[in-house]
Every structure is written in structure tokens, then in C-alpha cells.
Amino acid sequence: MRLQDKVAIITGAGRGIGQATAIKFAMEGAKVVVCDISPEWIEETVKSCKKAQGGDAIGHQVDVRDIKALEEMVADTVTKWGRVDCLVNNAGIVMDAQLKNMTEEQFDRVIEINLKGVYNCTRVVVNTMIAQQSGVILNASSIVGIYGNFGQTNYAAAKFGVIGMVKTWARELGRKGIRSNAVCPGFIATDILKSVPERVLRAIEEKIPLGRLGKPEEIANIFAFLASDEASYINGAVIEVSGGMTL
């Protein structure tokens, strides 16, 4: 198992890509800290992780905007398992609108969670990783953060900013044994797409060379690889996982 006894904190792990990533890490032998804002979702994911071969998990209800709660989560993790080997910054929201209609609240909330939240989580974990002289920071960006998307000024800005932080951390922390990388999913079949009309989803699929939406497990597989020692020389990378949509 590629992540045997590694300790991983995964945000937004209650549903979608985050849940699939937590389960995948547990299957690979990791000890997983399942972070989300919903107690019910946390409980469900923790149970699934514990059913996985070789896996173990605990849950933490946190809002990535709450520094104190994040600090307590890291402290509890270190107390229980002694270290933090990997942080997966996956928590995020969408509040779409065209620029002419976007409210300040829509812009600010997406930036606070999708960008500032990534900073907050990494900031509270980084000293532990520096003391260990090892660690992996993985950020969920998006192809929207590279190419933009209609009606997503706020989301594109946040996801582009996440890539910038990844590259900066790769430079700052690499010499301390800490790798930082970004994964940029395309359109993945999760709850976040439930509000998208069926005709729009079909049109999106037609633009993807593989002819379908991605699966959460396909993104989880990339996170697991990047967290493992198999990716020991990958640092500062931005990896698109979009079925070829951006070609």
C-alpha cells in the first residue's frame, strides 16, 4: 500500500472528490483526518474509510475560515498520530454569476473559502511539516483556474490564486523536504454539477475527447499518487485531469 501509516488531513472530505480521496487514502493504508462542515457527511466518510483495507480515520467538523478550529484539528491530529504527512486542500464552493450580475458577497465568499481557506489550512499545518522536514501539500485547483470560464469570475480567481500559492510554496518549502503540487480537474460528476441543466452537461461531454465527465475516484487516484513516495521528485507541478477537454 502506497500510503501505509502516513497521516493525511483532507478538507471538504464529506462529499465528492474529497470523500473519494479520503477513501482512496485509507485503502492505501493512510490514517485520515476527515474534515468538513457537515457532521453527517463526516460520519459517513469516516465509516467508509474504516471499512477500507488497512485504513483508519477520525473526523473534524471545521470551517476553513476558522483559524482556531483548524489549529485545534492539527493539534489533535499530532496528539493522536504524532505527525502530518499530507494536507489535501479540497474544500470549495461555487457561487456563479456573470460579472455584471455578481454581488460582492458572492465574490468574497468564494475567495474566503476557495483561496483564503487554502492559505489558512496550509499555514496551520506547515510548522509541523517543517519540524518533521517532510510533508506533501496538495491543492485542488481547476482547469477554470488556468483557462477561465463563463460566469465564474470568483471561482477562476480563487483557483488561479491556488496555483500561484502552490508554486510559491514549492520554492519556499522544497528545501525543507516539503513538496507542493496542484491538481486541476475538469468537469467531474459530483453534486456540484447537479444544478447544471442536462443539455448543458451533454454539450460539455461533446467537448471532451474521452466523451464523458470524470469520476471523483479518478481525481482521488492522482492525489494518492502525488502523496506517495512514488512522486518524490514532483514539486510545483500543475496537473490537468480533464479527459483532454482543454486540447
What is the rounded average pLDDT of the residues 105-133? 98
Examine residue 223 and state whether it is found in any structural domain, yes or no. yes
Q: Which residues pair with 190 in a beta bridge?
A: none
- 246 domain-assigned: no
The two beta strands, 135-140 and 7-10, are unpaired
Rounded Cα–Cα distance for residues 174 and 168 (Å) = 10
* 247 within some domain: no
Contact 10, 32 (CB under 8 A): yes
Q: Is the pLDDT of residue 197 over 90?
A: no
User: Considering its fold, how many domains does the chain have in total?
Assistant: 1
d(CA 58, CA 20): 15
The predicted model scores a pTM of 0.96
- Among candidate residues 119, 147, 155, 233, the one labeled active-site is 155
CATH of the domain at 118: 3.40.50.720
Confidence tier at 229 by pLDDT (50, 70, 90): very high
* Domain annotation covers residue 2: no
| pLDDT reported for residue 65 | 98
Q: How far apart are the first and last CA of the chain?
A: 34
Classify each residue of 157-179 as buried b or exposed e, where b means 16 or more C-beta atoms within 10 Å of its C-beta.
bbbbbbbebbbebbeebeeeebb
Does a structural domain hold residue 231?
Answer: yes
DSSP 6-29: -EEEETTTTSHHHHHHHHHHHHTT
Residue 195 has pLDDT above 80, yes or no: no
The whole-number pLDDT of residue 48 equals 96
Measured CA to CA, the distance from residue 204 to residue 150 in angstroms comes to 13
What range does the domain containing 113 cover?
7-239
Kindly compute the dihedral angle of the four CA atoms of residues 106, 107, 109, 111, in this order, to the nearest 10 degrees. 160
Average per-residue pLDDT for the chain: 96
Verify whether residue 147 is a known catalytic residue.
no
CA distance 45 to 90: 15
Predicted local distance difference test score (pLDDT) of residue 179:
98
Q: For residue 18, tell me if it sits in a domain.
A: yes
Model pLDDT, residue 177: 98
> Quick check: is 157 in a domain?
yes
d(CA 186, CA 222): 13
21 falls within a domain: yes
**For residue 54, pLDDT beyond 90:** no
Q: Which residues, listed in sequence order, are joined to residue 89 by a DSSP beta bridge?
A: 139
The residue ranking higher by pLDDT, 119 or 55, is 119
